[in-house]
Chain A
Amino acid sequence: MSPVRVISAVGGRVLRLALLLATVAVASFVLMVNSPVDPVSAYVGADVAVIGPEQRALIAERWGLDDPPLERFGAWLGNLLQGDLGHSLTFNQPVTEVIAQRFLTSLALMSAAWLLSGLIGFALGVLAGVQRGRAADRVVTWWAYTLASAPTFWVGLLLLYVFSVWLGWTPVCCAVPVGVTADEVGLLDRIHHLLLPAVTLSIVGVAPVVLHTRHAVVEALESDYVAFARAQGESTAGVVLHRVLRNAAAPALLLQFSSWGELFGGSVLAEQVFSYPGLGAATTAAALGQDVPLLLGIALFTTVFVFVGNAIGDLVHAQVDPRIRRVGASWRSRGRATAEEVA
Chain B
Amino acid sequence: MTTTIAAQAAEHLPNRRRRTLFWIGAAAAVVLGVVVAGTLSADAAQTTALADRNLGPSAAHPFGTDWLGRDVLARALAGLRLSLLVGTSAALISAAIAVVLACAAVVFGGVVDRIVSWLVDAFLALPHLVLLILLAFALGGGTHAVVIAVAVTHWPTLTRVLRGQARQVMASDYVAVARGLGRSSWAIASTHLARHVLGHVVVGTVLLFPHAILHEAALSFLGLGVDPAEPSIGVLLAESMRYLTAGAWWLALLPGLCLLIVVKLVDTIGENARALVDPRSVHL
CA gap between A158 and B260 in the complex, in Å? 13
CA gap between A277 and B136 in the complex, in Å? 22
Is A255 part of the binding interface, using a Cβ–Cβ cutoff of 8 Å?
Answer: no
Residue from A28, A166, A265 whose CB has the most chain B CB atoms within 10 Å: A265
Is B237 part of the binding interface, using a Cβ–Cβ cutoff of 8 Å?
Answer: yes
| Contact partner, A165, options B137, B224, B245, Cβ 8 Å | B245
Q: Interface of chain B, helix or strand or loop or mixed?
A: helix
- Also in contact, A264 and B127, with CB within 8 A (given A20-B121, A158-B253): yes
CA gap between A158 and B138 in the complex, in Å? 32
| Contact partner, A295, options B134, B140, B244, B249, Cβ 8 Å | B134
**A window 245-301: CB within 8 A of B:** 260-262, 264-265, 268-269, 272-273, 283-284, 287-288, 290, 295, 298-299
Is B199 part of the binding interface, using a Cβ–Cβ cutoff of 8 Å?
Answer: no
Q: Identify the stretch in B60-68, B102-110, B177-185, B214-222 within 8 Å (CB) of chain A at 4 or more residues.
A: B214-222
Determine whether the beta carbon of A146 is less than 8 Å from that of B260: yes
Determine whether the beta carbon of B244 is less than 8 Å from that of A151: no
Determine whether the beta carbon of B221 is less than 8 Å from that of A261: no
Least Cβ–Cβ distance between B213 and chain A, in angstroms: 9
- Also in contact, A35 and B237, with CB within 8 A (given A146-B264, A172-B245, A306-B126): no
Determine whether the beta carbon of A149 is less than 8 Å from that of B263: yes
CA gap between A150 and B259 in the complex, in Å? 8
Is B128 part of the binding interface, using a Cβ–Cβ cutoff of 8 Å?
Answer: yes
Determine whether the beta carbon of B122 is less than 8 Å from that of A268: no
Is B139 part of the binding interface, using a Cβ–Cβ cutoff of 8 Å?
Answer: yes
- Also in contact, A265 and B128, with CB within 8 A (given A154-B252, A158-B252, A287-B137): yes
**B window 216-273: CB within 8 A of A:** 217-218, 221-224, 233, 237, 240-241, 244-245, 247, 249, 252-253, 256, 259-260, 263-264, 267
| Chain B residue nearest in CB terms to A33 | B138
List of A residues within 8 angstroms of B256 by Cβ: 150-151, 154, 157-158
| Contact partner, A34, options B138, B214, B217, Cβ 8 Å | B138
**B window 123-142: CB within 8 A of A:** 124-130, 133-140
Determine whether the beta carbon of A299 is less than 8 Å from that of B217: no
Least Cβ–Cβ distance between B72 and chain A, in angstroms: 14
Is A152 part of the binding interface, using a Cβ–Cβ cutoff of 8 Å?
Answer: yes
| Contact partner, B240, options A145, A157, A218, Cβ 8 Å | A157
Determine whether the beta carbon of A154 is less than 8 Å from that of B138: no
List of B residues within 8 angstroms of A288 by Cβ: 222-224
Residue from A150, A151, A298 whose CB has the most chain B CB atoms within 10 Å: A151
List of A residues within 8 angstroms of B237 by Cβ: 151, 153-154, 157
Q: Interface of chain A, helix or strand or loop or mixed?
A: helix
Determine whether the beta carbon of A35 is less than 8 Å from that of B222: no
- Also in contact, A272 and B125, with CB within 8 A (given A149-B264, A218-B284, A265-B130): no
Is B210 part of the binding interface, using a Cβ–Cβ cutoff of 8 Å?
Answer: yes
Count residues on chain B whose CB falls below 8 Å from chain A CBs: 42
| Contact partner, A32, options B138, B223, B259, Cβ 8 Å | B138
| Contact partner, A269, options B122, B210, B221, B244, Cβ 8 Å | B221
List of A residues within 8 angstroms of B241 by Cβ: 157, 273
Is A63 part of the binding interface, using a Cβ–Cβ cutoff of 8 Å?
Answer: no
List of A residues within 8 angstroms of B252 by Cβ: 154, 157-158, 161
List of A residues within 8 angstroms of B260 by Cβ: 146, 149-151, 154
Is A23 part of the binding interface, using a Cβ–Cβ cutoff of 8 Å?
Answer: yes
Q: Mark B196-218, 1 if CB is under 8 A from A, else 0.
A: 00000000000000100010011
Query: What are 17 contact pairs spanning A and B, CB under 8 A?
Result: A24-B122, A31-B134, A35-B137, A35-B138, A36-B139, A148-B267, A151-B214, A151-B217, A151-B256, A151-B259, A166-B249, A218-B284, A265-B128, A287-B133, A288-B224, A302-B127, A307-B125
State the B residues within 8 Å of A (CB).
121-122, 124-130, 133-140, 210, 214, 217-218, 221-224, 233, 237, 240-241, 244-245, 247, 249, 252-253, 256, 259-260, 263-264, 267, 284
- Besides A31-B135, A149-B260, 6 other A-B contacts (C-beta < 8 A): A37-B140, A148-B267, A151-B218, A158-B253, A261-B124, A264-B130
